[in-house]
Chain A
Amino acid sequence: MIQLQNVTFAYPSHIQQPVLSHLSLNLRLDICTGLIGRNGTGKTTFGLLLMGLLQPVDGNIYLNGKNLKDSPLHQIGSQIGYLFQNPRQQLFADTIIDELLFPFTLQQTDSCEVRKRADRLLTLFQLDQNRNTNPLSLSTGEQKRLVLAALMMNDPDYLILDEPTNGLDQESRGILGNLITERIMMEKGLLLISHDQPFVNQHCHSVLSMNEKNVREVACAT
């Protein structure tokens, strides 16, 4: 469970105009939650707060009972996977396969099982045909799929996907839809920050709508 308790957040340059004001909310980790809202209402800011990349001005955010302020970034990163709007910011290696394996190689936790998981994910995300290709030469849709595969290597408890359907063709949307279904079956949830209302309605159990200073639940599947 991610718990937001009385969270207020404002950017230092606009301290008088908080993006979130005294927000209390519980996010279940086993369902798919959608977050919708107009441009500039703070959807991405909300996601960054959940990752501990931004600190609330007031209030606290707890991940499974532990205050995010007390957790180092790498620990949050291994529990929550975050897909940025621009996937290029999350690509580090010079081949697709290395993109999935390098965190394990660096930390010397590489094993046969890890390699098998990488192979399985490359197949799942249909990237196994060009595993030695440079990730920067892929299209945006393929890069998003690659980053998702890389995030799944840690088997995170929760995923936050910021505009995941932007730039995706029908086939890639299908792959993303399958990933969501598979995760829900494993009782591992995700937060879908998106403008793509049909996609959100199709996959999310609960939909949150964000407007200035406020987040409220607008739909809840039974």
Chain B
Amino acid sequence: MQLDPRAKMLPVCLMTSLAIIRNSTFELFVILILALSLAFLVRASLAKVFFKLRHLLSTFLGIFIVQLIFNRSGEALLTAGNRVIVTDSGLENGLGFVLRMMIILLCGTVLATSSSQDTVNSLVQLKLPYTLAFMVITAISFIPLMGREVSHTLVSLQLRGINLKKIPARQKVRAFTYLFFPVIMQTLDKAQELSIALDLRGFRSGFKRTSRIKLRLRYTDWLVMALSVLLFIMALWV
């Protein structure tokens, strides 16, 4: 279903706020289901996004395990002899972290279904200054750019004859500096080039910017926004 970017922004803001306010695993799970429903509603390509972020998902799993093992407070759930291995608080904190991160990822995926032009227009129609709206969208567009730079740099490093898998453990941290130094420098370069190009094209040259595209909220947009406000109030009430 095609939704106005504003009709995506409101439930996304409310769901991420709830994910921060609420602590219980059950409530976070309900918010995750709602975020998932919204993602399906806007036909977000979840499989593609989760495949791209598969390494991040393993980091989430790692943090979940760390919470599970090192959080000692609460009642013991799993013991080996006299040693407490897993506590209910550790499990709850670990699950809470994973659920929150999944909610944030899903919300990001929902917002990414709108084109950058539509998102800028919707922010402007929400009375945000155009410069600020443009800055937000440009900053977001730099995330995939950095991803591409990382993969290019990895390829370039290997083309220098470096077998990344065979680097001794002591040198691994050093290898990361050779990976991230060019990525950061290239990204900064691109940002500077972009700002110069914008200035040269007369960005913010004094005239009020107009747009031929006027976004209009439809019946379904209003329905989604009303439902999300209603659910948010109910969640605060309970």
Name A residues whose Cβ lies closer than 8 Å to a Cβ of B. 51, 53, 72-78, 81-82, 84, 88-94, 102-103, 105-108, 136, 150-151, 154
User: Is B162 in contact with A106, judged by CB distance below 8 angstroms?
Assistant: yes
8 additional A-B pairs beyond A92-B156, A107-B167, beta carbons within 8 Å, are: A51-B159, A73-B159, A77-B160, A89-B186, A91-B182, A92-B178, A93-B181, A103-B162
* Residues of B contacting A: mostly: helix
**Given contacts A89-B152, A106-B178, A108-B168, A73 and B158 within 8 Å (CB-CB):** yes
Docked pose: A106 CA to B161 CA in angstroms: 11
Q: How many A-B residue pairs have CB under 8 A?
A: 72
Instruction: Enumerate 30 A-B pairs (CB-CB under 8 Å) in ascending A order.
Output: A51-B159, A72-B158, A74-B158, A74-B164, A76-B159, A77-B159, A77-B161, A81-B159, A82-B159, A84-B156, A88-B189, A89-B153, A90-B156, A90-B159, A90-B160, A92-B181, A103-B160, A103-B161, A105-B171, A106-B175, A106-B178, A107-B162, A107-B168, A107-B171, A108-B168, A108-B171, A136-B185, A150-B160, A154-B160, A154-B161
Contact of A77 among B158, B167, B174, B186 (CB under 8 A): B158
Tell me the nearest residue of chain A to B179, going by C-beta.
A92
A134 CB to nearest B CB, Å? 10
A residues within 8 A CB of B175? 106
Docked pose: A74 CA to B165 CA in angstroms: 10
B residues within 8 A CB of A78? 161
* Residues of A contacting B: mostly: helix
A residues within 8 A CB of B164? 74
Counting chain A CB atoms within 10 Å of each CB, which of B161, B164, B189 scores highest? B161
